[in-house]
Amino acid sequence: MTLTADEMDYIKNELGRDPNPLEYGMLDIMFSEHCSYKSSRPVLALFPTEGEKVIMGPGDDAGIVDLTDELGLVMGMESHNHPSAIEPYGGAGTGIGGIIRDIISMGAMPVALLDSLRFGPLEDQRSRYLFEYVVKGISDYGNRVGIPTVGGEVEFDENFQFNPLVNVVCAGLVRKDSIVRGIAPNAGDVFVLMGGRTGRDGIHGVTFASEELTSSSELESRPAVQVADPFTKKQVMEATLEALEKINIQGLKDLGGGGLTCCISEMAAKGGNGARMELTKVPLREEGMTPYEIMLSESQERMVFVVNPQDVEGLLTIFGKHELPYSVIGQVTSNGRMVVTQEGEVVADLPCELLADPPLVEREAREPLRNKDYLEIEDVSADEALLQLLSSLNIASKKWVYRQYDHEVQVRTVVKPGDDAAVLRVDQEKGFTLTADCNNIHCYLDPYHGGAGAVAEAIRNVVAMGSAPLCMVDCLNFGNPEKPEVFWQFKECVQGMSDVARRFNLPVISGNVSFYNETEGVTVNPSPVVSVAGAIDLKDIRTMPFKNEGDLIILIGNTRPELDGSEYHKTVHGVVQGNAPIVDIEAEYQSAQAVLKLVKSDDQLRITALHDLSSGGLAVALAEMALEGNHGAVVDISKVPGEEDMSPIQVLFSESHGRYLLTASKDSAAEIIKTLTNSGIPASSIGQVEGSSLVINQAELNIEVEELKNSHQKAIEEFMA
């Protein structure tokens, strides 16, 4: 049990009696951090959740925004950190399965997946094992279900050696007149359970996810990891979509964390109703299962439908056609209570509101003490530093990961993995972009600017594709919230994220909080992963690679001497110190709006390439554009907008926010720069696409494009060979 003494007293006072063992188990999972958000809800209220395009904000299985006249874009994000640390293949696979079900639960067809991953260094054998099998779990599940994995990100750091992070995003499309909710609105309706049979896997999954890992967790907590079944998921998805088309479904919810207890009680509570369910009606996978096991099991691939009794026959006919187990397990009542029976005998009787709305917990927040010692760093040669950075695991090509994913299935993918964001087609003219971002080192050094930077970078990624930001979802990964220093990090990150989102009128439509990411005293760096979607006219797509010899290179935004927390400091010098780059929110907003305005007015396709600056700074961004386009460039860094008297190393590897690189023909460049500067946006032509080498004379940097490719494209493969 994870219930505290105060919570036990609260429960007894509300009930006027002691709960029985089954009721204790049900309350235990519903009061867990994973289900109740009891620590985080007051802080999450900082996020903007409403907007002109918002159809449904946080509170259901996923959020929905207006995409076209007929369609809504559905998005959700989840973590499966603890299960993946214990059993990486199954843990990652069930994470994908859970987020897919969340999208289906809204009545939507899932069309895209992204993953955001954190591991220890690949020099470590266990980290290689976790990395390999998490990627394989995501790949096998997504590929078998037929949903493309179109993008994501991976970071490696010693901090994640014992506690990897596995965050997954799913996006879907739904007709606006076909949206359903996880609700039981009408007394007299019935609950129909469909999908995989209920077994003993996943019991205490949510409580396991709401406590720290230990060295014995791999053995003791393995039964709490659910078993994935992508082939059944494919059947479940097809049967659900057919049922939504043919039957008047009153409510729909997947069985994820908390199993039947969470699903039924939350649906009833949202409808202001109660529920009565009979355990002998639940299709079981194993003999002799107790009421406790049935109600707490988190077996996968299960859905609960709420329908009027007159629609049951038609619904069951559909499930039978798809050869799926199904059963009418109970009915919606009007008394507000969750009553569980076994052969008609009551074995649990609890208020739905008590289960679905546990009391909040006020946590203390205190800024942690950090070592303020600052090591003086001696600069190395620019060409040596750039090659080291390109071959570092955080910047090197992630092709080893995404080549295992089927990103072509459903034939919507217009821009594939490897660019700033993925682009997916909705129709012949419209599409949407997807990306995911977070810099855990920045968040560790300064949670406010690190959190703000995660949102800002994700916005820059969709803007760099020519796309207007539409909405965001997040997965907030932190340590133990009972520790004041951790809760301070959480509050600061959310404040920074919220401030950027508000300036961009970017609604947060769904998300997830993952606390207790600690193993025997080692706390993960705060990692608020952000996924942003953008709306795009397909004619406006811009991509990263250099395209044409002679195009001029324009840098937008100011560069400051911000090497603290940079990949240059970490990779080349092995230090993490100082202050994270600041996010000038207004400058970030103005730069993004200026770039979008340029793209929208660019009917002649004068902007030939577009890329944002992030990890590794200007030098890495130039190198990525060169190696992807197989063109060299000659660059004059004395023309870089920003602070004066910076060293070449500072100019090349600073990770200042709010910056973009674009290329344009010589005839167009002057007009583009004039348009930007007249709008108060710092911009300058810093070079041109030329030759087969990246040349920066002021830094004595001259590297062949082929050498850039060799450094960038083989690092992960060499570890995973």
Please say whether the beta carbons of 414 and 406 come within 8 A. no
pLDDT band at residue 680 using 50, 70 and 90 as cut-offs:
very high
pLDDT band at residue 372 using 50, 70 and 90 as cut-offs:
confident
Please say whether the beta carbons of 114 and 136 come within 8 A. no
Residue 409: what pLDDT? Answer: 81
Residue 407: what pLDDT? Answer: 80
Residue 65's beta-bridge partner residues? Answer: 54, 73
Residue 206: what pLDDT? Answer: 53
Structural domain contains residue 482 = no
Q: In the predicted model, is pLDDT for residue 605 greater than 80? A: no
* Number of domains into which the chain is organized: 1
Residue 545: what pLDDT? Answer: 97
Angle between helices 666-678 and 585-600 (to 10 degrees): 140
What positions carry a catalytic annotation? 34, 80
Q: What is the mean pLDDT of residues 532-536?
A: 97
pLDDT in tens, 139-187: 998 888 899 999 999 999 999 999 999 999 999 999 999 999 999 999 9
Structural domain contains residue 569 = no
Residue 373: what pLDDT? Answer: 81
Residue 371 burial class via C-beta count within 10 angstroms: exposed 0-12, middle 13-18, buried 19 and up: exposed
Q: To the nearest whole number, what is the mean pLDDT of the chain?
A: 93
- Tell me the three state secondary structure of residue 581: coil
Report CA-CA distances (Å) from 493 to 33, 169, 457, 472, 497: 19, 20, 14, 15, 6
Residue 451: what pLDDT? Answer: 98
Give CA angle at 678 (675, 683), nearest 5°.
Answer: 70
Residue 73 has what DSSP assignment? E
What domain range includes position 95? 19-356
Structural domain contains residue 83 = yes
Structural domain contains residue 309 = yes
Q: What is the mean pLDDT of residues 280-287?
A: 94
Structural domain contains residue 418 = no
Residue 209: what pLDDT? Answer: 47
Three-state SS letters, 517-580: CEECCEECCCEEEEEEEEEEEHHHCCCCCCCCCCCEEEEECCECCCCCCCHHHHHHHCCCCCCC
Residue 315's domain is classified under what CATH number?
3.90.650.10
The proportion of the chain whose per-residue pLDDT surpasses 70, expressed as a percent, equals 96
The proportion of the chain whose per-residue pLDDT surpasses 90, expressed as a percent, equals 85
Which two structure tokens, joined as six digits, stand for 252? 């729909």
**Phi and psi for 181 in degrees, rounded to 5?**
-130, 160
Structural domain contains residue 633 = no
pLDDT band at residue 406 using 50, 70 and 90 as cut-offs:
confident
Residue 378: what pLDDT? Answer: 87
Residue 432's beta-bridge partner residues? Answer: 424, 535
Structural domain contains residue 624 = no
Structural domain contains residue 101 = yes
Please say whether the beta carbons of 99 and 475 come within 8 A. no
Q: Is 427 left (phi over 0), alpha (psi -120 to 50) or beta?
A: beta
Q: pTM for this one?
A: 0.94
Q: In the predicted model, is pLDDT for residue 325 greater than 60? A: yes
The two most distant CA atoms of the chain are separated, in Å, by: 83
